[in-house]
Copies of this chain bind each other. A is one copy, B any other.
Amino acid sequence: MSIATPTTPDALAQRLADSGLRSTPQREVVYDVLLKKRDHPTADEVFVRVKTELPTISLATVYNCLETLVQCDLVRAVNFERGPTRYCPNLRPHAHFHDEQSGATHDIELPPVLLEQVHAILPPNYDAKSVEIIFRGAAGSPRPEPVEGQGKAKAAR
């Protein structure tokens, strides 16, 4: 079923090899960046972060690497409304809560039992490879929480 120690930098080389792909500095740093700050960054945001370590990397490569990581099942791509795709290195089954105020996204633990129950609503013949659960709302803590948001920070329009 699932793999024992998935979410570590070292898993990368292994997984890549398994898929007949090479471990490159770009792929490593992109993955590291995702592991280091798990705030569901966009490709652009990953680009910025990776550049501090690999100043010459190109945005196209960031897209390539992210795609590769998704292929290898090391990273999940998440799409909220219209906006850019966000990337999440959390492999455990979880839902996403999208705080519309701050734009931040939080992982929500998804109990296996519930996951099963959700799958169970599918009629026969529907074979779901994956399921995505996305909440939208306000993570209205009594006190405002530390900024985790990428929400409007960049969305200068």
Residues of A that sit less than 8 Å from B by CB:
77, 79-82, 85, 95, 97, 100, 106, 108-111, 114, 117-118, 121-123, 125-142
Contact = CB atoms under 8 A, between A and B. Distances in A.
A125 B140 CA distance: 4
B141 A131 contact: no
Given A79-B79, A118-B118, 19 more contacts: A79-B80, A95-B118, A97-B128, A110-B121, A125-B139, A125-B141, A127-B137, A127-B138, A127-B139, A128-B135, A128-B137, A129-B136, A129-B137, A131-B133, A131-B134, A131-B136, A132-B132, A132-B133, A133-B134
> What are the 8 tightest A-B residue pairs by CB atom distance, in nearest-first order?
A128-B135, A128-B137, A129-B137, A125-B140, A132-B134, A125-B141, A127-B137, A131-B135
Contacts of A85: 81-82
22 contacts: A77-B81, A79-B81, A81-B85, A95-B121, A97-B122, A100-B129, A108-B121, A108-B123, A108-B126, A109-B121, A110-B121, A114-B117, A118-B133, A125-B142, A126-B135, A128-B135, A128-B136, A131-B136, A132-B133, A132-B136, A133-B133, A134-B134
